[in-house]
Amino acid sequence: MNVALGVGGGIAAYKAAELARALMERGFTVEVVMTRAAEEFIRPLTFAALTGRKVHTHLFSAASAEDTLASAIEHIRVAQENQLLVVAPATADLLAKFTHGLADDLLTTTYLAFTGTVVLAPAMNTNMWNHPASQTNMQVLRGRGHVVVEPGEGLLACGMIGPGRLAEPDQIADAVLAASKTKKPRRDLDGETILITAGPTQEPIDGVRYLSNRSSGKMGYALAEEAVARGARVTLISGPVNLPAPLGATLVPVRTALEMRQAVMDRLSEATIVVKAAAVADYHIPNPSKQKMKKTAARLSLDLEPTPDILAELGAKKGDRLLIGFAAETDNMVEEARRKLQQKNCDMVVGNVVSHVVSHVASQQGTGFESDENEVVLVTRAGETIPVARASKRAIAGRIFDEAMRLRLALHASR
Ligand SMILES: Cc1cc2nc3c(=O)[nH]c(=O)nc-3n(C[C@H](O)[C@H](O)[C@H](O)COP(=O)(O)O)c2cc1C
């Protein structure tokens, strides 16, 4: 298997020579790409002698236009001919460039052109590593599915003690070997624009009180994370929840059912798939008081009006889009899910058993609203009823998209 080894301009660049050897000892063919700064720390000749191959240093190194054509465009060739791209040491500068897609030298252009597995071994001064800019960049890069070989702690070249030291070459080479055996995650949602709704809505009663439900938003957020990981552009329209925004998704926070409806309709035209996982209130108080209502001895009745049926409206306007609804039911779940599918013109309804939510300790063992796990039945327009055994919400999200993509093919074929 071929590995492109990108060497950044850090003090640990000399250890990349040991890494090249360690990779070769594990059976990899190694092709080295150095940054200009890396050449300040170690000579290309060292890598050329170790690997027996030409070392690439400059984006515009070809002597003439004819040479360029003869050798193909170097960064594209390096990206195509190698199955893994290992960057060690990954400098703070390279992490920032990768994060933002800057492409001003051979290594950064190769990174952008590369579609295989990326392994990053960062190394830098402790303060540089701990800086929020570096940590945010790492979060983004991890979110892209890159393998990160964490820097070790210890005495650094700058005299500081702390994290930032390049991991040992053998440790990095072992991580590359493990990554080479791991199947790359699917990118089958590439090109899709997916609109996902999540969480509860809050319907004001007065200036301080509201009606809501026990939806935690976890299912919708898991769907968003799964869709991003599989290559989709994702907009997540979320009611109030206590969850971190999924990396890579555009988060649109809303509060009420009316706000949720507006946010969905505003973005419908760009969507190829709509997943309505939110638990939208069925009723609201049309003109709630802005002041806090005073407590009195008298009984209080709330005059509730139905909220707009967003799913039904989507069903009427959906065109070729895949429309996936959720039915959280306590009884007759499959029948209710099928009724919803037909009445609202959905392609799939995810039937969600929420019988436990009346229990106060339900979230500990249950499935449904507040749990990290779920157990669902997928009811499809093709007439199928597909039970999905209890699993994490992320795994359930994966299964929902698997079945949705299969269903779309089946529906197209039957037209
Ligand atoms: C002596 C010296 C040591 C350096 N060590 C590191 C380092 O370990 N990690 C790092 O991120 N930057 C380090 N730098 C800064 C980088 O060399 C600088 O950010 C450079 O632009 C990185 O270029 P590159 O990202 O193209 O490799 C060091 C600079 C000097 C002068």
Q: What is the pLDDT of residues 145-188, one digit of tens each?
A: 899 999 998 777 777 777 899 999 999 999 999 999 987 667 88
Higher pLDDT, 368 or 79: 79
Reply yes or no on whether 346 is catalytic: no
CATH 3.40.50.1950 in the chain is located at 2-181
Q: To test ligand 1's pocket by mutation, which of 39, 87, 93, 111 has the most ligand atoms within 8 angstroms of CB?
A: 93
Contact call for residues 254 and 260 (beta carbons, < 8 A) = yes
- Distance of alpha carbon 233 from its chain centroid, rounded? 10
Q: Which residue CA neighbors atom 19 of ligand 1 most closely? A: 93
Q: Which residue CA neighbors atom 7 of ligand 1 most closely? A: 10
Q: H/E element holding 69?
A: helix 65-70
Cα(339)–Cα(377) distance, rounded to whole angstroms? 14
Ligand 1 midpoint to CA 12 (Å): 9
The structure tokens listed for 10 are: 């850090």
User: What burial class does residue 7 get, using C-beta atoms within 10 Å of its C-beta: 0-12 exposed, 13-18 middle, 19+ buried?
Assistant: buried
User: What burial class does residue 102 get, using C-beta atoms within 10 Å of its C-beta: 0-12 exposed, 13-18 middle, 19+ buried?
Assistant: middle
Residue 185: its pLDDT value, please? Answer: 67
Higher pLDDT, 378 or 353: 378
Q: Which residue CA neighbors atom 5 of ligand 1 most closely? A: 10
Ligand 1 midpoint to CA 45 (Å): 20
Cα(203)–Cα(207) distance, rounded to whole angstroms? 11
Ligand 1 midpoint to CA 355 (Å): 58
Confidence of residue 359 (pLDDT cuts 50, 70, 90): very low
Q: For residue 369, is pLDDT > 90?
A: no
Contact call for residues 337 and 380 (beta carbons, < 8 A) = no
The structure tokens listed for 363 are: 């979230």
Span 193-283+302-413 CATH architecture? 3-Layer(aba) Sandwich (3.40)
Confidence of residue 303 (pLDDT cuts 50, 70, 90): very high
Cα(159)–Cα(136) distance, rounded to whole angstroms? 25
Its pTM stands at 0.61
Residue 360: its pLDDT value, please? Answer: 42
Please state the rounded mean pLDDT for residues 390-413.
Answer: 92
Higher pLDDT, 155 or 293: 293
Closest ligand 1 atom to 91 CA: 11
Which SS3 state, helix, strand or coil, does residue 412 take?
helix
Q: What is the CA radius of gyration of the chain?
A: 27
Q: For residue 313, is pLDDT > 80?
A: yes
Cα(167)–Cα(185) distance, rounded to whole angstroms? 25
Confidence of residue 352 (pLDDT cuts 50, 70, 90): confident
Closest ligand 1 atom to 9 CA: 27
CATH of domain 2-181: 3.40.50.1950
How far separated are the first and last CA of the chain, in Å rounded? 44
Q: Which residue CA neighbors atom 14 of ligand 1 most closely? A: 10
Contact call for residues 55 and 124 (beta carbons, < 8 A) = no
Q: To test ligand 1's pocket by mutation, which of 5, 7, 11, 131 has the most ligand atoms within 8 angstroms of CB?
A: 11
Q: Residues with Cβ within 6 A of ligand 1?
A: 8-12, 35, 37-38, 89, 91-94, 123-124, 128
Tell me which long-range contacts 331-340 makes (C-beta under 8 A, separation of at least 24).
Answer: 331/355, 333/377, 334/377, 334/379, 334/385, 337/377, 337/379, 338/379, 338/385, 340/311
Q: Which residue has the tokens 């590995």?
A: 3
Ligand 1 midpoint to CA 10 (Å): 4
Closest ligand 1 atom to 128 CA: 11
Ligand 1 midpoint to CA 122 (Å): 11
Confidence of residue 76 (pLDDT cuts 50, 70, 90): confident
Residue 65: its pLDDT value, please? Answer: 56
From the list 133, 158, 245, 410, the catalytic residue is: 158
Cα(278)–Cα(260) distance, rounded to whole angstroms? 9
Please state the rounded mean pLDDT for residues 33-40.
Answer: 97
CATH 3.40.50.10300 in the chain is located at 193-283+302-413
Task: Give the DSSP letter string of 362-403.
Answer: HHHH--SSS-SEEEEEEEETTS-EEEEEEEEHHHHHHHHHHH
Q: Which residue CA neighbors atom 6 of ligand 1 most closely? A: 10
Ligand 1 midpoint to CA 7 (Å): 11
Q: Which residue CA neighbors atom 13 of ligand 1 most closely? A: 10
Ligand 1 midpoint to CA 40 (Å): 10
What percent of the chain clears pLDDT 70, i.e. is strictly above it? 93
